[in-house]
Structure 1
Amino acid sequence: MRSQYFVRAPGADRILFPRTNEEDVSCFKMKCQRILTYLRIFGTTMFGVSLLVGISTAYIMGYQFFTTAGNHLSFGLYGAILVVHLVIQSLFALLEHRNMRRSLETPIKLNKSLALCIAAYQEDPNYLRKCLVSVRRLTYPGIKVIMVIDGNSDDDFYMMEIFKEVMGWDKSCTYVWRSNYHHRGPEETDESYAESLQQISRLVLNNKCVCIMQKWGGKREVMYTAFKALGRSIDYVQVCDSDTMLDPASSIEMVKVLEEDPMVGGVGGDVQILNKYESWISFLSSVRYWMAFNIERACQSYFGCVQCISGPLGMYRNSLLHEFVEAWYNQTFMGSHCSFGDDRHLTNRVLSLGYATKYTARSKCLTETPVTYLRWLNQQTRWSSGIDQVSIR
């Protein structure tokens, strides 16, 4: 049934077409969502300001809820806020884990196309082999596997050999590229560059297992190559690091989340530590990982706003990726191209389009973590830099 509202061309008297009731309802919903977004931003800002003022005031006044004789033990406002925050997080995380268990009752058809993109850079041969063996055991039907190696020197060829060995010599297609999408290699002409782009696209579209070696450019360059080579030929894109062992059902469980709600743009899984008993640093990292995923990300998932879908285990709608892949790659901070925070920025781009990001504990993987202090410190510095770049921007 038609409504009484009509759309007119600017500056014209004639009616172009009538507006339907469905369009009126859709327009009304969009306005309501915009108002709710503004209210949420305002409420969050005021809540943060009130916390800051309250904590600062309590600190200046030296307020304490209780203290022991000699001040050996005290409990102030800041400690109370931390405890309340942890309790609230745990409550919503518990509710989200209940929702995850209920989702098992919803049957889905595994008829959507899926591609797994693996980023590799000077990986330990043992970890890379374990990663690819776990990829072969994935139970999602017809999955396409693309591994892009960040580097094309003689020292990088062992990774391509491992790929062909594990995935099958007769099933693997490989390509050594002197360039990448943004930087040309030595002696690369316009004709050879264009031919390489076409060759890579054909290999990726026509084969299930593809390994590409390209000119060094960083992890973001590697992921960009995989995304661009796939184009819009598949429905979902799963990302993975070369030191990650995937659970056989990890892909299916993430697809379930995307299939249940068309407004979910990305989903991450439970990342656990593979080498947690190698040192006290790796063990403490495993404890931190459990808290970060099963409490913090589960709580965020309850509200559909997971802040970071981790690189070792994540999945996105391919249609969304191509809405912002150029802006994602060209992210800058203070005039410099960003090399950190690719996964967090990818997640933020999904959220900026109005789609939700979720977490499912039913999709699992194991990944390697640093066992020495200096390597761990370098990792945390990179992650902190990525968080700052994305947050400030």
Structure 2
Amino acid sequence: MDIKPVLRRFGSWVRAILTFLFALLVLGVMLWAYIDGFQIATSPFNIISFGFYGVLLTLHVLIQSFFAFVEHRRMNARRNPCSYTKTIGFTISAYQEDPAYLRECLQSVRALQYPSELLRIVMVVDGNSEDDRYMMEMFREVFADQDPGCYIWQNNYHSWKPPVQEGGAAEADGVVFEDHQRLEVEELIRTKTCVCVMQKWGGKREVMYTAFKALGSSVDYIQVCDSDTKLDPLATVELCKVLESNQKYGAVGGDVMILNLKDSYISFMSSLRYWMAFNIE
């Protein structure tokens, strides 16, 4: 009898119980500190104070920073080359994007230093009205030499409803009705290297679902970005190198930064949040 699965399951339960007990302990101490009014340091007139919760947050950031530092050193020490053999589906999610940002995004995708024959670029626009058409036209312009495929889909994967026949059935004589436009979208994405699809509004998840569903297993990896993202020329290569370095890796994220860092206080605070998210957390 193989006891490894049993030990693994037992270890998972032990970790879960210890984590729960530790959370209860922290919550209890925080409640005590709040009720008792415990403060480690405070300013005159109690405008600013530093209490137990502040200690927890500080320790949390310090511990995360330490492990992030170790991980960054480990990643920087890697010298694994890219095989340049993996096919990559590059998906762009677009919704009423600023034309200047969209053009920068598309031009940065064009400048990626990865073999073009291994890239499948798919931009899905969340909206199919005349007001959204400028995004498709810009895509067609930027990728004009790639013979781009463009399609306006009147539905999306979850909005289409099959016609109901007499008696309330959604099929006739055993034939199940399908959205022919969906089939055309899937065929276009699987046969063209550059495709732009405008579809019925459904939100960002619906846009990403379309790209993922249509690409299916036709590519090795899928890379995603928004339509206001300006990519580093080596972005795809670096992400691919990490995935190739270990078969157990299922996903990898890039280092996302704010372009308009100095425009306002809000953009500066946003840049700090992004830095924390992609470098420490």
TM-score range, shorter chain: 0.7 to 0.9
The normalised TM-score by structure 1 is 0.63
Q: Say yes or no: does 1:181 pair with 2:157.
A: yes
Map 1:193-232 onto structure 2 (within 5 A): 194-232=179-217
- Match of 1:145, as an amino acid? I
Aligned ranges for residues 11-30 of structure 1 at < 5 Å?
24=2, 28-30=3-5
Q: CA deviation at 1:179?
A: 1.5
User: 1:17 — aligned with what?
Assistant: none
**Unpaired segments of 5 or more residues in structure 2?**
164-170
Percent identity, please: 51
8 Å CA contact 2:156–2:182 kept in 1: the answer is no
Q: Which residue of 2 aligns with 1:122?
A: 96
> Considering only aligned residues, what root-mean-square deviation do their CA atoms show, in Å?
2.6
Over 3 Å counting, the alpha-carbon distance change for 1:184 and 1:55 in structure 2 is same
Match of 2:23 in 1: 48
Aligned to 2:168: none
User: Does structure 1 conserve the Cα–Cα contact (< 8 Å) formed by 2:124 and 2:198?
Assistant: yes
User: Does residue 123 of structure 2 align to residue 147 of structure 1?
Assistant: yes
Alignment of 1:1-393 (within 5 A): 24=2, 28-66=3-41, 74-103=49-78, 105-141=79-115, 142-168=118-144, 170-184=146-160, 194-296=179-281
SS of residue paired to 2:90: strand
Structure (1/2) with the larger strand percentage: 1
Counterparts in 2 of 1:237 and 1:32: CA distance versus 1, 3 Å? farther
Query: Could you say what secondary structure the match of 1:246 adopts?
Result: coil
Call closer, same or farther: CA 1:145–1:192 in 2, change over 3 Å. Answer: farther
**Whole-Å separation in 1 of the counterparts to 2:189 and 2:232:** 24
CA contact (8 A) 2:146 2:193 kept: no
* Larger displacement relative to structure 2 (191-200 or 211-220): 191-200
Deviation at 1:120, TM superposition (A): 0.7
For the Cα contact (< 8 Å) 2:185–2:214, is it kept in 1? yes
CA distance in 1, matches of 2:150, 2:50: 61
The 2-side partners of 1:219 and 1:75 are apart by: 40
Counting matched residue pairs gives: 269
State the alpha-carbon separation in 1 of the partners of residues 158 and 277 from structure 2.
35
Q: Which has the higher contact order (CA 8 A, sep 6+)?
A: 2
Q: Distance in 1 between matches of 2:41 and 2:204?
A: 50
Which sections of structure 1, spanning at least 5 residues, go unmatched? 6-23, 297-393
Query: Alpha-carbon deviation of 1:74?
Result: 4.7
SS at match of 1:115: strand
Q: Find runs of 4+ consecutive structure 1 residues off by over 6 angstroms.
A: none
2:141 maps to a residue whose letter is: E
Q: How far off is 1:171 after superposition? A: 2.1
**CA separation of 1:177 and 1:66: change in aligned 2, threshold 3 A:** closer
Give distance in 2, aligned partners of 1:130 and 1:178: 28
Query: 2:160, 2:179 within 8 Å by CA — same for their partners in 1?
Result: no
1:265 alignment partner, SS class? coil
Give per-residue Cα distances to partners, 1:329-356, cap 9 Å, x unaligned.
xxxxxxxxxxxxxxxxxxxxxxxxxxxx
